[in-house]
Chains A and B, each alone.
Chain A
Amino acid sequence: MSLLTIAWRNFCHRPLSSLLTTLSLALGVGLVVLVLSIFGIVNEAFTRNATFGYNLVVGPKGSALQLTLNSVFYLSQPIENLPYSQYMEMFPQAERQAMVDRLGGDPELAERDGKYAAFVSGGYAIPLALGDYYGTFRVVGTTTDFFEKLRHGPELDQPFEFEDGEAFQAESEANGFFEAVLGSRVAAEMEVGVGDVLYPTHGDPEGKGHEEAFMITGVLAPTGTPNDRAAFVNLEGFYLMEGHAKPIDESEKFEPANDQNVSSDDEGKLRPLTIPEREVTSVLIRTGNMMFAPGMQNMINESLEAQAAAPVGEIYKLMDAIVGPVMQALLGITLITCVVAAVGILVAIYNSMNDRRRDIAVMRALGARRETVTAIIVFESFLVAIIGGVLGWILAHAAIVLYSGKIEDQTGISVNFFTVTSYEIYILPVVLALALLAALLPAWSAYRTDVGSNLSA
């Protein structure tokens, strides 16, 4: 019989003691795995989704972290809004001219290049307008560029795909500016799809419902990102909802140059807001060259109107400053739990030694060496460690699976039973090392067992 078999028989011979010892270790390991997994999920949720191809988020002055959280993760509250003219600073003169002509605004805006246009040239600037809800989900006013230019996935190379329908149009014949696209989770939870309409509520989920209905033209395929939990509406439609136009003085009113060409057919249709009436919550920027980002960020942050945040950097700062230390503290506590469980192994095996000295003496009389009986004790401890470790791992991952829906709701991260963090590979060696330490004292006791006196006893 192998030593492992002998150890296993000894393990089974004291079922209650073995079960309790193993269970205590399993709970300790389970807690460690849970903490590691939560840390891994939080870490991945924030870092993986910290960008969808853009490298800066521009918004009003305030907390860079809050700007990142609300613009990228649709968490926290928007800080304030930026004048639309700040968004226009990302574009060259020709495009600014086109905007002024199309929307109506101060002609001076069209006389120069935007301050940051050179940085953005070759990249993109996508505006976001936040503040409304659909159910408990954020409504995001944006442009079709959002679906065309942003990418997701670990390599940031996957375009957004539609599970059903298509992206809204800048302006459609049937619905004008009032079209929407839903994230997969929004469609599933609200039980709506293409052809249905949604009515945003103002300010918070319980807020006053807007009267304007948005026709749902598409449902995004799941991405495992916060975008699954957002309802995207045409930015122009967002502006045209009641109470979304920035109040302006008479002196700030401008007519769009294109208005002179309005035909009689268009007279009943809603017109986009003029530039002074428009605000954006933030702008997602991809600089033409990644090297431009720090320069652009500095320049914006030195200005009085806006701030630019590098979302990945902000998230790393958040992890380092708050999440990391909290997780480390939790990990420390759970590791102490494991040490306590290891002490439990020690106590259980050591207490059993009194009953087993004769067995050890008999094995010695049958030819077992001191090292052999010592190894049997160590193997017993390892068995507790391996069974407890694996059981703890299974329990923790079962708990994660049990809460996977909630995790996905909260973080956008899809997890399954085999979603493991890189840290988990260290658990078994650590637990085995603890088991070895726990086994040392009883193993030494076994090593020193006097054969003669115990056989004669």
Chain B
Amino acid sequence: MNRDQQTSETLLTATDVVKTFDQPADQSGGKDGRLTVLDLPKFTIAYGEQVALIGQSGGGKTTLLHLFAGLLVPDSGTINIAGIELSRLSEQGRDRFRAANIGYVFQTFNLLPAFTAIENVKLGMSFGQGSVDAGRAAELLDRVGLSERANYRPSQLSVGQQQRVAIARSLAGQPKLLLADEPTANVDPTSAETVLDLIRTSCRDEGISLLLVTHDMNVAQRFDRVDELDTINRALSAHSKQAV
């Protein structure tokens, strides 16, 4: 499948996805003591598409990413990625699916401190079906400009460098969908530019769909498609109405 074909087809379709959490006893307003964090009637991402999802802190952005990554299961609704219905998979199935199809970039990088930069990248391919490709790990590190720091530990890298290693790691498993959770929030503006460019360019080059959540409008406006979580998440609308 080439890139043109990919962009015309839907990679991710989320339909009527609702996610609730236990509500602390001293807070009220939820149904049956539970707080509805996400109520998403419809959300799609096409193959190769790059989407920025903007929203305020606590608006359910990370929950949405965890649902798409199969780390959480919706209370109701369906999430279909690459033809796979996530809610029908067992936890092990979702783990396998995630290892094979999802890349994840965290706001706080989350490099494992015990491992060097190159080992962190290799970790990105250690839990899938395929074997660890040392050549690809080195190539990815080279792509993010850190081949000379391959054997540095995270503590020996700057914040921006750590995020670049995290990007390389997220691409290591050749995912179909890259989920980026506020990837520029913890880096300085210059590094943020670099990080953003790296993510977008790498996804474009490898035909990976990108869903980047941010609260920063400057970051979001770089994308052709920008969705506002306040608009698409009915749970937030309901909270707003309750507040009024």
Interface residues of A (CB under 8 A from B): 1, 6, 9-10, 12-13, 358-359, 362-372, 451-452, 455-456
Partner-contacting stretch, out of B8-16, B126-134, B212-220: B126-134
The 7 closest A-B CB pairs, nearest first, are A367-B99, A13-B114, A367-B127, A369-B95, A368-B127, A362-B110, A9-B114
Closest to B112 in A: A359
B100 interface contact, C-beta 8 A: yes
Residue from A10, A367, A370 in contact with B100 in the complex, judged by beta carbons closer than 8 Å: A367
Residue from B62, B91, B102, B173 in contact with A456 in the complex, judged by beta carbons closer than 8 Å: B62
Chain A contact surface mostly: helix
Most buried by B among A369, A371, A372: A369
Q: A1-B122, A364-B71, A452-B66 are in contact. Are A369 and B92 (CB under 8 A)?
A: yes
Extra contacts, 15 of them, besides A366-B124, A370-B91, A452-B72 (Cβ < 8 A), are: A1-B119, A9-B114, A9-B115, A362-B112, A364-B95, A365-B69, A366-B99, A367-B99, A368-B99, A368-B126, A369-B127, A371-B92, A372-B127, A451-B66, A455-B71
Assess the B113–A452 pair: CB atoms within 8 A.
Answer: no
Assess the A358–B114 pair: CB atoms within 8 A.
Answer: no
Q: Which residues of B contact A358 (CB under 8 A)?
A: 110
Assess the B114–A367 pair: CB atoms within 8 A.
Answer: no
Q: Which residues of B contact A456 (CB under 8 A)?
A: 62
Closest to B103 in A: A366
Assess the B127–A10 pair: CB atoms within 8 A.
Answer: no
What's the Cα separation between A455 and B100 when bound, in Å?
20
B104 interface contact, C-beta 8 A: yes
Interface residues of B (CB under 8 A from A): 62-63, 66, 69, 71-72, 91-92, 95-96, 98-100, 102, 104, 106, 110, 112-115, 119, 122-124, 126-128, 132, 169, 173
Most buried by B among A9, A366, A369, A370: A366
Q: Which residues of A contact B128 (CB under 8 A)?
A: 367
What's the Cα separation between A13 and B98 when bound, in Å?
27
Question: In the complex, what's the smallest C-beta–C-beta distance from A13 to chain B, in angstroms?
Answer: 3
Question: In the complex, what's the smallest C-beta–C-beta distance from B35 to chain A, in angstroms?
Answer: 14
Closest to A456 in B: B62
What's the Cα separation between A76 and B106 when bound, in Å?
77
What's the Cα separation between A1 and B123 when bound, in Å?
6
Assess the A367–B95 pair: CB atoms within 8 A.
Answer: yes
Assess the B119–A9 pair: CB atoms within 8 A.
Answer: yes
Assess the B127–A363 pair: CB atoms within 8 A.
Answer: yes
